[in-house]
Structure 1
């Protein structure tokens, strides 16, 4: 069995059990974050993203001096369940655990805790990009600047598909012209190029380490392991710069001090600390995701509308009589071919995609990354090899609904049910498929001193039945429980083990 464990880099402490390393659940994006529009940046009401200017590269001192003031320390208050420690799964987030119910097959107690991570200022008005797993479960956020000033922060938006989130500092007297980092073009970085990692490992603020780019377009499967990531994109920059828990959301910069990535994960041993490999989300993808979260409230992702993709090698080329040994072969236009952007542009089943916008495509990760940087309605040039001939097609990307409209931020389905002391939400398609159920209501927050806390039911528990009534969604569960009194039986699923549990009790 392999002993490598891909880990995110948030540092989590649970108050009554000492310091532990922990990840975070993914939460949806509310509709209250749609008021900041990037296109209004010129008037001062939105974030201003700056492309890195050309200039002579400096030494590490120059890059460190330029980048450290823009990297912040993020502290969050969270609620977690105390769980028994066990061997972590390969490709798992820190401390997310597998057994919420312990040896007694009962939920364990809910406790307050704190998480620590890093973030990067991307505008002079206090917008900060970080990792989703650093902030997604936070009830409170505090940002500590490099000069030790502290501010409250609000969550602007999250994207579980890339593990990127945006927050903004808050306060009555915010400083003007906060230091921020310009985005470099991550497509331009080279393997072997020197880079610096800046962050707050183990609460050691403003720590700088150096290394080189070891690889590009690396996929390690960590984002796809999480239920909230429905269309994960992994095209990490791999580096040997030393990063550790607490570095999550910090900056990976080039020798000019320009942002080329957001540090996200490490290949760690059983201790969950650095053993030589770390991974960062490339800056081009970060810039696109952050911009969408600020402008639209959610990420606008364009799709080609193809499926059954395979990386072409000599064996596949011989089997399919292809005239090239490199690229991405596809064998279908998906479940709804009429909605496929690729089909509408003239691509044919059996074509081999070799380039997108002139950039070589040799693996699925690169194809997903290049297309994922665009929104519905954008036009990309797709180069294919068809029977030995190179052909270019202008493809107008579509959304998952098969059109080019902007996808509105979903209306929150979160409901608070005071009778049981919990907040409920609907399941997404991935969760339904994972547990082979048609519906249910997921507990996303257990309120203090409520019935669910008394019953020791953990966050994440999925209610599938109340008495003899099968539950379709959060609204149905809330309506049944709203005015319920007396004995009640709730049946549900522990999402970590997939086992079914029954809760019997009396509501008052």
Structure 2
């Protein structure tokens, strides 16, 4: 796993990212009066679309659950009739036992950890006594998700159970770095689905759904403005794509772990290296090297500073993770690095994260 020792830099100026779950909150009532101006839309178009929304909510919302972890609250999705539930790793934290509440139910069910895979921010938990009326969700092939598709975000934002927001797929294939904690870098996740549907704390682990009643992704994080005291940037949220969810969840359920992430790795841990003045990053410093791993076989050692992967300049540990997220295991890449002030280059056959 490639890790870093400094906060990730956002991929867009003025924006940082906030995990969309794992908080408990009380919300004061807030209402607004309907506008009395403007003409009504065409009844036939409006009613057809409204019916589609309502049908999708009725079909999918029963598959979305509320998860109460030892130190947080978030959302999850019923994965199968055996009681397996998928969610974000950051929702469950380091817990092993959880309480789950099904949609439109006040009954609290016990669940235990199957496996947590923080590298991709995914986890599976399992109900101890699955009820007979569980309704597993349907996951779509992520390659079929298109920009402009209408989507609904379902979950439990701020503890408001079974909430739904709407938007569109704004982009696909985004590589996004989650915020870290205590000065460390968060994980980098490739191929995320960007959406304009509102994603708020507590939505993490919930469903991003198309109007064919299919899960296109797991809601994970939202962008916030770096220049406005952490105010959320409206309409910029991200979901882990459904194909990645099913691939990893199937491994966790079958083998109790992830056996093949499908993601490339150098086989090192790293941290961002700063200039002597401490005001500019200069590369990804190698902290440790896995014995027999890709970097070790190519001659890279602890203390080296990686400055380039192929033609991509590497100025930080976060940038190294983002670059690797776009590559494939088994791919040969040229790695440029500095050792003792001398520039060197080697070819690395990438391994699996």
TM-score > 0.5, shorter chain as reference: yes
Could you say what secondary structure the match of 1:192 adopts? coil
Instruction: Give the one of 1, 18, 31 matched to 1:7.
Output: 18
Select the structure of larger CA radius of gyration.
1
Q: Indicate if the aligned counterparts of 1:244 and 1:274 stay in contact, CA closer than 8 A.
A: no
Q: Tell me by how many angstroms 1:366 deviates.
A: 9.5
Note if 1:66 corresponds to 2:59: yes
Q: Tell me by how many angstroms 1:233 deviates.
A: 3.0
Q: State the TM-score, normalized to the length of structure 2.
A: 0.62
Q: How has the CA–CA distance of structure 1 residues 159 and 223 changed in structure 2, closer, same or farther, with 3 Å as cutoff?
A: farther
Q: How has the CA–CA distance of structure 1 residues 238 and 141 changed in structure 2, closer, same or farther, with 3 Å as cutoff?
A: same
Note if 1:190 corresponds to 2:146: yes
The size of the alignment, in residue pairs, is 256
Separation in 1, partners of 2:203, 2:246 = 19
Partner residue in 1 for 2:135: 179
Q: Indicate if the aligned counterparts of 1:5 and 1:272 stay in contact, CA closer than 8 A.
A: no
Partner residue in 2 for 1:117: 74
Q: How has the CA–CA distance of structure 1 residues 192 and 202 changed in structure 2, closer, same or farther, with 3 Å as cutoff?
A: same
Q: Indicate if the aligned counterparts of 2:23 and 2:158 stay in contact, CA closer than 8 A.
A: no
Partner residue in 1 for 2:280: none
Q: How has the CA–CA distance of structure 1 residues 144 and 201 changed in structure 2, closer, same or farther, with 3 Å as cutoff?
A: same
Q: Tell me by how many angstroms 1:5 deviates.
A: 3.0
Separation in 2, partners of 1:350, 1:202 = 43
Could you say what secondary structure the match of 1:120 adopts? strand
Separation in 2, partners of 1:3, 1:350 = 28
Task: List gaps (5 residues or longer) in structure 1.
Answer: 20-57, 79-114, 308-332, 339-348, 352-363, 373-379, 385-395, 401-508
Trace 1:91-170 onto structure 2 (pairs within 5 A). 115-138=72-95, 140-148=97-105, 149-170=107-128
CA deviation string 1:375-407 (max 9, x = no partner): xxxxx9x8x9xxxxxxxxxxx99656xxxxxxx
Could you say what secondary structure the match of 1:146 adopts? coil
Q: How has the CA–CA distance of structure 1 residues 142 and 274 changed in structure 2, closer, same or farther, with 3 Å as cutoff?
A: farther
Greater relative contact order, per chain length (Cα 8 Å cut-off, separation 6+): 2
CA deviation string 1:168-219 (max 9, x = no partner): 1123xx3125111111011111111111100111111111111111111212
Q: Tell me by how many angstroms 1:228 deviates.
A: 9.3
Instruction: Give the one of 57, 69, 78 matched to 1:76.
Output: 69
Task: List gaps (5 residues or longer) in structure 2.
Answer: 1-8, 28-50, 268-293, 300-308, 312-320, 334-348
Q: Is the strand fraction higher in 1 or 2?
A: 2
Separation in 2, partners of 1:257, 1:126 = 20
Separation in 2, partners of 1:245, 1:237 = 18
Could you say what secondary structure the match of 1:197 adopts? strand
Instruction: Give the one of 239, 252, 263 matched to 1:293.
Output: 252
Separation in 2, partners of 1:199, 1:304 = 31
Q: Indicate if the aligned counterparts of 1:160 and 1:223 stay in contact, CA closer than 8 A.
A: no
Partner residue in 1 for 2:336: none
Could you say what secondary structure the match of 2:248 adopts? helix
